[in-house]
């Protein structure tokens, strides 16, 4: 099994807000969840004499997608507790681009920052991933994470016939689901330590929903099946090897609602015993913003040119890492260029069948 | 007057511990101050039920020079309060290389990190410079800074005949000293807000000592005069312009012991009124490690090759920024290469006259 560092080292997003620009949908998800965030916030009793509120955004990448929501949260709290100060703790794994994150949060990148309209707000950055404790015991008021916790702490095994656990079966599926279960428990246990009593978590995680839908598989082409099909074509053409094909395995797990809920409902679970309780869980589909825009503009070329980068932003580095180490850099780059080009050609032929809708479980958790 | 961002934007140190490698002397200074740090720590009454200790390293660059000292501090506290947790807050201005800082602090760079031998320690990173408040009111137990606070928040004026205020006179000197006074007050006032009652600051700042000595001016060649002389030569040879010569002004101020002490002793000062008190101040000369090594190895070439990078590490970016914007990049690089080469040639000719001894004021401050 790959170590956390090994498995995460290729998952670096590009800097200065570029990731957020390419993933407008991920920001839509967070904005859609803002009412749930504010409701969870409302249920926290912040005493008048509490002078510090600590918020944490875990797996934040470049920090761009949550800027508006964090601003809303700060304003909502300061309306009731005008004198209060904030620690806003942004965390991601050590290979994240912290320079880009700093630029975005401080409003020096592509987006305006809430720091321009707020006072007594102290942004802090941590290079502890959510598989570690990020801040000391009993210091967290509100924890948040969006579209991040599907990344496993390691790869349990290669999938022989698919790139993602959504298409795995048999022993391989079991190994992924066991790993996913353990990782979810680890994530929650660290949060149980960090949270004060009464503190809340709002986690927006990719999931497989009640109807079996998941990212890029809501209607039309199944994005993940398409990833596999194109790699199979490359294998058939001799452009990639059997070993490479097998290594094209994303270290991700999409939990179901039942899997997300289990440790928060089961009396015997160490997570339950540490005081975490499920307050709310629902699944949500957030429409692919590029496919939605295509309905209006009907420009297939424009759609394809917007759509492929949003896919590429989160899986190119994994596919790159799966290519044989002995290949020359230019060779690797050519393969990936052609790979996404094949996908883009398909989008141009039948644009109306492609869309990367986001399928999330919105989860609200309380520490009692 | 240049804004903070403008004046600081060129002061970026290179990443992954490279800065600390080039500035071994800066680490020697911190290690020499460790007894003073531990003594200041000893004077803090940490109640048995205090579960969190917050330490801040301001102007940390890549974090490498303070690693040992921070480890010593953590171990000293945990011996008395075994269950206590730590926030270790590293801060520097937004243009700092935070990716390099993260690598160094997490022990992924050139140096081992104290994180390998400690528990319940949470490193956090802030992009607020010491000219801003870094963490909320009353949350800081121990603040530390080394070899950083001589950087002014802006450049009060260009020095017409020198690169540094140590060689300024008349109106220009006054403008620097007024700016330095205001900046020192600003730095202290922010710390007064951050510190809890009884909290301590240990600040190791470049100074002009009781005998008029300062960095690179202890015996032999005056390093700053030499900087000026070589730029004058370049001007005379037509290699740089009058405007460029004038802009070769470092935005720095070296306080005297009296200047450091004034706001901490003067009843009328807002710093004094905010509760900061001077507990201890002394000046210290830390020998240039490369000149000391030369005494043993007597290899002028080796000395010159070690000595020039330590100078270059902190002033090249400033000199670079002073060169005309219309010059081609290669032209600028050639000028600077030749500039440091001229310096290196001098070192080769009379190595025993060159040494960049560090001259610091070690200051201990308490919040009452």
* Minimum distance, in Å, between the CA of residue B367 and any CA atom of chain A: 20
A122 to B102: CB separation less than 8 angstroms, yes or no: no
pLDDT of residue A2: 33
The whole-chain average pLDDT of chain B stands at 93
Percent of chain A with pLDDT over 90: 90
pLDDT of residue B19: 53
Beta bridge partners of residue A151, listed in sequence order: A252
The three-class DSSP label of residue B285 is: strand
Mean pLDDT confidence for B62-88: 95
Mean pLDDT confidence for A70-92: 96
Place B20 in a pLDDT band, splitting at 50, 70 and 90. low
Is residue B362 scored above 90 in pLDDT?
Answer: yes
Rounded to 5 degrees, what angle do the CA atoms B130, B133, B138 make? 125
Cβ-contact B43, B200 below 8 angstroms: yes
A124 to B120: CB separation less than 8 angstroms, yes or no: no
Cβ-contact B278, B363 below 8 angstroms: yes
Which residues contact residue B298 at a Cβ distance below 8 angstroms, ignoring those fewer than 6 apart? none
Cβ-contact A103, A17 below 8 angstroms: yes
pLDDT of residue B12: 41
Which among B89, B102, B134 is the nearest to A98, CB-wise?
A: B102
CA A321/CA A317 separation, integer angstroms: 6
Contacts of B101 in chain A (CB under 8 A): 98
Mean pLDDT confidence for B1-13: 36
Cβ-contact B150, B254 below 8 angstroms: yes
pLDDT of residue A11: 39
| Residue at token pair 């540094």 | B164
Cβ-contact A339, A10 below 8 angstroms: no
Q: What is the pLDDT of residues B78-96, one digit of tens each?
A: 999 999 999 999 999 999 9
Tokens of A165: 């656990």
Rounded to 5 degrees, what angle do the CA atoms B283, B284, B288 make? 145
CA B229/CA B319 separation, integer angstroms: 14
Which residues contact residue B87 at a Cβ distance below 8 angstroms, ignoring those fewer than 6 apart? A135, A136, B52, B53, B54, B55, B122, B124
The three-class DSSP label of residue B206 is: strand
Mean pLDDT confidence for A159-174: 97
pLDDT of residue A14: 42
B125 to A125: CB separation less than 8 angstroms, yes or no: yes
CA A28/CA A55 separation, integer angstroms: 20
Is residue B295 scored above 80 in pLDDT?
Answer: yes
Residue B122's closest chain A neighbor by CA? A135
Beta strands A52-58 and A85-91: pairing type?
parallel
Contacts of A120 in chain B (CB under 8 A): 136
Query: Which residue out of A136, A138, A194 would a mutagenesis test of the B interface target, given it has the greatest number of B Cβ atoms within 10 Å?
Result: A136
Q: What is the pLDDT of residues A347-360, one digit of tens each?
A: 999 999 999 999 99
Is residue B22 scored above 80 in pLDDT?
Answer: no
CA B301/CA A352 separation, integer angstroms: 70
Q: Which of A289, A288, A287, A266 is nearest to A276 (CA)?
A: A266
* Minimum distance, in Å, between the CA of residue B130 and any CA atom of chain A: 13
pLDDT of residue B353: 96
A226-230, A243-247, B23-27, B224-228: which has the minimum mean pLDDT? B23-27
pLDDT of residue A21: 54
Rounded to 5 degrees, what angle do the CA atoms B241, B246, B249 make? 130
B137 CB burial (10 A radius; 0-12, 13-18, 19+): middle
Q: Which of B301, B213, B316, B202 is nearest to B256 (CA)?
A: B213
Is residue B11 scored above 50 in pLDDT?
Answer: no
Beta strands A358-367 and A276-286: pairing type?
antiparallel
Place A24 in a pLDDT band, splitting at 50, 70 and 90. confident
Is residue B140 scored above 80 in pLDDT?
Answer: yes
Is residue A9 scored above 80 in pLDDT?
Answer: no
Mean pLDDT confidence for A97-111: 94
Helix axes B329-349, B223-236, angle to 10 degrees: 130
Percent of chain B with pLDDT over 70: 94
Cβ-contact A364, A41 below 8 angstroms: no
Helices of type H across chain A: 4-8, 18-22, 24-42, 67-80, 98-105, 170-194, 223-236, 242-247, 257-265, 270-273, 289-297, 300-322, 329-349
CA B48/CA B81 separation, integer angstroms: 7
Mean pLDDT confidence for A162-170: 97
B127 to A106: CB separation less than 8 angstroms, yes or no: yes
Domains observed in chain B:
4-367 (3.40.50.150)
* Minimum distance, in Å, between the CA of residue B272 and any CA atom of chain A: 23
Place B15 in a pLDDT band, splitting at 50, 70 and 90. very low
| Residue at token pair 């969190």 | B52
Contacts of A89 in chain B (CB under 8 A): 124
Q: Give backbone dihedrals phi and psi of A179, rounded to 5 degrees, phi first.
A: -65, -45
Is residue B206 scored above 90 in pLDDT?
Answer: yes
B122 to A135: CB separation less than 8 angstroms, yes or no: yes
CA B338/CA A348 separation, integer angstroms: 56
Tokens of B225: 């005069």
Cβ-contact A114, A123 below 8 angstroms: no
Tokens of A354: 């492609």
Q: What is the pLDDT of residues B254-273, one digit of tens each?
A: 999 999 999 999 999 999 99
Q: Give backbone dihedrals phi and psi of B218, rounded to 5 degrees, phi first.
A: -115, -45
Model confidence, pTM: 0.92
pLDDT of residue A6: 33
Place B354 in a pLDDT band, splitting at 50, 70 and 90. very high
* Minimum distance, in Å, between the CA of residue A133 and any CA atom of chain B: 8
Q: What is the pLDDT of residues B99-130, one digit of tens each?
A: 999 999 999 988 899 999 999 999 999 999 99
Mean pLDDT confidence for B268-282: 98
Is residue B173 scored above 70 in pLDDT?
Answer: yes
Top pLDDT among B9 and A156 is at: A156
Beta bridge partners of residue A143, listed in sequence order: A56, A201
* Minimum distance, in Å, between the CA of residue A7 and any CA atom of chain B: 16
DSSP state of A207: B
The three-class DSSP label of residue B207 is: strand
């Amino acid at each position: 099994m790959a170590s956390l560092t090994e498995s995460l080292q290729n998952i670096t997003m590009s800097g200065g807000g570029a990731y957020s620009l390419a993933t407008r949908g991920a920001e839509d998800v967070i904005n859609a969840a803002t009412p749930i965030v504010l409701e969870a916030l409302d249920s926290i009793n912040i005493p008048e004499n509490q002078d510090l509120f600590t918020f944490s955004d875990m797996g934040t990448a470049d920090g761009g997608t949550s800027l508006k929501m964090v601003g809303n949260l700060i304003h909502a709290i300061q309306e009731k507790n005008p004198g209060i100060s904030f620690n806003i703790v942004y965390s991601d794994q050590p290979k994240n681009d912290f320079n880009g994150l700093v630029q975005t949060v401080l409003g020096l990148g592509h987006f305006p920052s809430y720091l321009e309209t707020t006072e007594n707000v102290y942004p802090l950055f941590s290079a502890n991933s959510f598989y570690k404790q990020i801040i000391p015991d009993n210091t967290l008021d509100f924890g948040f994470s969006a579209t991040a916790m599907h990344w496993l702490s390691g790869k349990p095994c290669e999938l022989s016939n698919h790139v993602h656990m959504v298409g795995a079966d048999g022993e391989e599926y079991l190994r992924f689901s066991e790993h996913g279960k353990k990782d979810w428990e680890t994530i929650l246990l660290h949060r149980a330590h960090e949270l004060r009593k009464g503190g809340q978590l709002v986690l927006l995680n990719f999931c497989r929903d009640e109807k079996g839908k998941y990212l890029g598989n809501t209607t039309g082409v199944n994005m993940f099946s398409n990833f596999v099909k194109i790699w199979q074509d490359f294998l058939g053409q001799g452009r990639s090897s059997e070993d490479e094909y097998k290594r094209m395995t994303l270290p991700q797990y999409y939990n179901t609602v039942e899997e997300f809920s289990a440790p928060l409902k089961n009396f015997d679970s160490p997570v339950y015993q540490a005081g975490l309780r499920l307050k709310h869980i629902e699944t949500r589909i957030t429409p692919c913003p590029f496919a939605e825009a295509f309905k209006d503009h009907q420009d297939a070329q424009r759609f394809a040119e917007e759509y492929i980068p949003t896919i590429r932003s989160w899986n190119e580095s994994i596919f790159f890492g799966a290519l044989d180490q002995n290949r020359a850099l230019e060779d690797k780059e050519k393969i990936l260029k052609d790979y996404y080009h094949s996908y883009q050609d398909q989008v141009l032929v039948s644009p109306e069948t492609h869309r990367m809708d986001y399928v999330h479980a919105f989860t609200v958790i309380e520490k009692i």
